[in-house]
Amino acid sequence: MCRQKAIEKDDISLLSSMTEKERKKFNSKGIFGVTQLSYTFRPRRRPKQLAGKREKYHHSLKALAIRERKIHIVGSPELKMEGTPVYLDVEGLPDRNFYYLIGLRFRTGRRVIQHSLWAANENDEKRIWKEFLGVLSGIKKPVLIHYGSFETTFLKRMYQKYGELVGGSRLAEAISSAVSEVQLWVKEGKKEIYAFRVEEPA
């Protein structure tokens, strides 16, 4: 079956990680589509004796990720890093190359600190960028963590647009080494990650 027809039919052949034998088994149960398969996923608590073993791959959870257009992670990820995790969330208007909100959240001791830096217009953008850098400069070994490519693009554009950083400085290093949380989980290599990308049919 060609890719276009598989997409039109929502065929489970879109799940390239599924073997022919597994596909036939699902078909014998009356399951032919990705959406249909997604409704069969049931999260279960793992027995303690299996806690150290790798979780088996769930085609139904992959199907659920595609249906909901979300990323699902099996298990409880533990992020290991040197420095202070600073969670970054940005909102903007890409078509106008304008960012109007920079959100930061981090912990100092037992306190959780949150900053929401707003720009009223394009002329205000540089001000919140400087405020953002000011907040980072007061954090010990900041490690920027974000959730997608939007923040990566933001950091690159702001750095190119306004500079304000000395090459090799702590701030420049923090911004250039910013990573997405999913990348950290992948690096750990201990958890199954189910993204919503539609794959090439086998």
**Contact yes or no for 94/57 (Cβ under 8 A):** no
End position of a domain, from candidates 23, 47, 70: 70
Q: Residues 174, 114: one domain?
A: yes
pLDDT tens digits, 15-49: 877 888 999 999 999 999 989 999 998 877 766 66
Q: Hey, what are 92's tokens?
A: 């903007």
pLDDT digits (tens, 9 = 90+) for 48-60: 666 666 667 788 8
What pTM, to 2 d.p., does this model score? 0.54
Give the end-to-end CA distance of the chain in Å, rounded to a whole number: 9
DSSP H stretches of helix in the chain: 3-9, 20-28, 34-38, 59-68, 125-137, 149-162, 170-176, 181-188
Do the domain assignments include residue 199? no
125 in the same domain as 61: no
Give percent helix, percent strand, percent coil of the chain, each to the nearest 5: 40, 20, 35
Q: Do residues 91 and 181 share a domain?
A: yes
Asked if residue 100 and residue 178 are part of one domain, the reply reads yes
* Among 64, 82, 85, residue whose Cα is nearest residue 73: 64
Q: What is the pLDDT of residues 138-178, one digit of tens each?
A: 888 888 888 777 888 888 888 888 876 645 566 677 777 66
Determine the structural domain holding residue 114 and report its residue range: 84-185
> Cα separation of 198 and 41, whole Å?
18
Residue 135 placed within a domain:
yes
Burial (CB count within 10 angstroms: exposed 0-12, middle 13-18, buried 19+), residue 20: exposed
In terms of domains, do 66 and 88 share one? Answer: no
Total count of domains within the chain: 2
